[in-house]
Chains A and B, each alone.
Chain A
Amino acid sequence: MSIAGDISSSAPRFHLSKDVEQLLYRLLAAGLLCVALSVMTDAFLTTNNILNVLRQASLLFFLAAGLTLVILTGGLDLSVGANIGLSACLAATVIKVTGSPVLGTLAGLGAGCAVGICNGLMVAKLRIPSFIATYGMLWVLHGITYYYMAGETIHGFPPGFRQIGSGYFLGIPIPVYLMIGFLLAGTIFAQRTVWGQQIYAIGANPVAARLTGIPVDRRLILVYAFSGAMAGVASIVFLARLNSAEGDIGEAMTLPAIAAVLIGGASLFGGVGSVFGTFVGALILTLVLNGMNLLAVNASWQPLVTGVIVVFAVWLDMRGRRRT
């Protein structure tokens, strides 16, 4: 399992018919969920609710998109949720102190990215397994954030800034545009650029990647930096959406984000997965929660239902891929 396949499996992949087929299989679970929900409740298949689901999925997607690249290299970033907490609190402070949303946004993105670079250095240069390096980072970030916030919240931001999270353009929420933008950019980066292909190659076979002259360390640092920066993006949208920052703001997001990537067909051993798959994964998780709220499922049953659907979705996706 660890040295899976040869390097040719990660060569540029443009078999349109095959790609479209895969894409359809990937959408299968999400499609089934949508059909089931539209049958069960009238409230599901309305423009408002679809936009609502997309906006909610976008928060998860920002985080999961960055994680996808990390997981493609065979790594994992457990610190993304804690990173949101720190970046959001820092951005909130800067906005409050300077009154400038632009500076605040830059601070949030910068902090997220800096944390990512630290993760990348630990993984690439110090050779610490990513699971542990980022798990340690998770605790360090929580510690700093809790210490700094001391149980308080920072709230109330300028209306212009808040548009990022709660505004609309042509009737569609701004975060949805951001999501589509990152989805396109991420897909093009991963599938069509040399760096993207190198990332696939590193995940498929790190030893071979090194031998073929790919600068593995630099690419690893890049993907962790990217993951951190996406946590920064998520923190800004969170802040704008919630109008408030608190230490544990992203805490509940890490596992769902990882789950979204894996539901989207990525493998934790690296080399397999796509940003589009992750988008579908984020959509499925959001649909499950949306559906349970619409149907007013008893609170006690919700974790159980989510767990079963997650496993089922992955199983369906894997069956689909085996057929193609």
Chain B
Amino acid sequence: MSDQTLSSPAPRLPAVPGVAVALGLLAALFSVASPGFLSAGNLSNILVQSVILLLLALPMTLIIMTEGLDLSMGAVLTLASLVLALIVVSTKSLALGLAGALGVGLAFGLVNGWLVSVLSIPPFVATLGTLGAAQGLALIVSDGQSVVGIPRFVRQVYSGEVAGLPMPILIGAGFYALFHVLLYHTRFGTYVCALGGNRDALTLAGVKWRRLLVAVYMLGGAMAGVAALLMTARMNAGHPTAAIGMEFDAIAAVALGGTSFEKGKGWIFGTLLGVITVGVLRNGLNLMAVPSSVQVACIGALVIFALFLDGMRSHKS
């Protein structure tokens, strides 16, 4: 591995990635099968619904590229959302609430990063532990109840529009651009790629990779805080189980997008496609009124199918 140099990672663009094929097929199927699927309202609907997942999947891509995993994201989002709701209800200040949510996210990111990089606890176990901690704290601060009484203006964050475009889509696009630049056009991005499978080179280059790893997990925590803002605005409430399990959706979307669990191979545009593909599938199946149990099976089949196509391609090459 030592013959590899620390070059900027070129965006990985396979010929036709499995996720793009899956997305194309699904879009074609639903536009034929379900009137209304292709309407502007519904397409915007799909994008808006996908944003919260995207906000988690973007940092998850980076974390997975470091050969890590963050299972605590859904629980941290939930806790951050409750803290945000409690602060906004008592102070009426969205800025303070957001600061609280980001603080919760960053704190959990810091703990995750510390456990993984300094104590060398496997990410799966470390973040499984913090998942429990965040879930427990969410129950404790909320006493198991929804937090309501949030001023209506908070909802504008989710349901408002700027220049005719829904707010969540703008937020999602902004963060997507940010992560794209961060990964492909900064030194940080180069190092993140090297964190997966090329740590020796980082050490040789004099980079303090443990701190870097902590920073990656903190980025994940902070994004959970941002997602908490949208989630709270969407429900106009905080709820102690709101986003439980969402980390697995995020991981699936990242993997669907072609990011590999080994050696720092990440593809941030693939993650975007992965998130949208899941959104299209769920929306289309709902429009077709497919029974829930069949939907469940379809989601599994889609994930396998897309990765199967990717596997076929890498077989050939």
Contacts and interface: CB of A to CB of B under 8 A. Distances in A.
Contacts of A301: 136, 140
Nearest to B131: A307
A57 interface: no
Interface stretch (A38-46, A62-70, A141-149, A208-216): A141-149
A140 B300 contact: yes
Contacts, number: 153
Interface string A117-155: 000001000111101110111111111101100100000
A166 interface: no
Interface stretch (B54-62, B169-177, B288-296): B288-296
B197 A128 contact: no
Contacts of B140: 300-301, 304
A267 interface: yes
Contacts of A142: 293, 296-297, 300
A170 interface: no
Contact of A143 (B133, B256, B298, B303): B298
B296 A129 contact: no
Interface residues of B, number: 54
Contacts of B248: 135
A315 interface: yes
Contacts of B294: 143, 147
A129 B308 CA distance: 9
A259 B255 CA distance: 22
Nearest to B142: A300
B128 A143 contact: no
SS class of chain B's interface: helix, strand, loop or mixed?
helix
B125 A304 contact: no
Given A132-B255, A262-B122, A310 B307 contact: no
A2 B67 CA distance: 9
A315 B122 CA distance: 9
Given A147-B297, A300-B144, A132 B252 contact: yes
Interface of A: 1-3, 122, 126-129, 131-133, 135-144, 146-147, 150, 255, 258-259, 262-263, 267-269, 299-308, 310-311, 314-315, 318
Given A135-B251, A307-B135, 10 more contacts: A122-B304, A127-B315, A146-B292, A262-B124, A263-B125, A299-B139, A299-B144, A311-B115, A318-B119, A318-B120
19 contacts: A122-B304, A126-B312, A132-B255, A133-B304, A136-B299, A136-B304, A137-B304, A140-B301, A142-B297, A142-B300, A146-B296, A147-B293, A255-B128, A299-B139, A303-B135, A304-B136, A307-B131, A310-B125, A310-B128
Closest 9 A/B residue pairs (Cβ): A307-B132, A143-B297, A304-B136, A139-B300, A311-B129, A143-B296, A136-B304, A140-B300, A147-B293
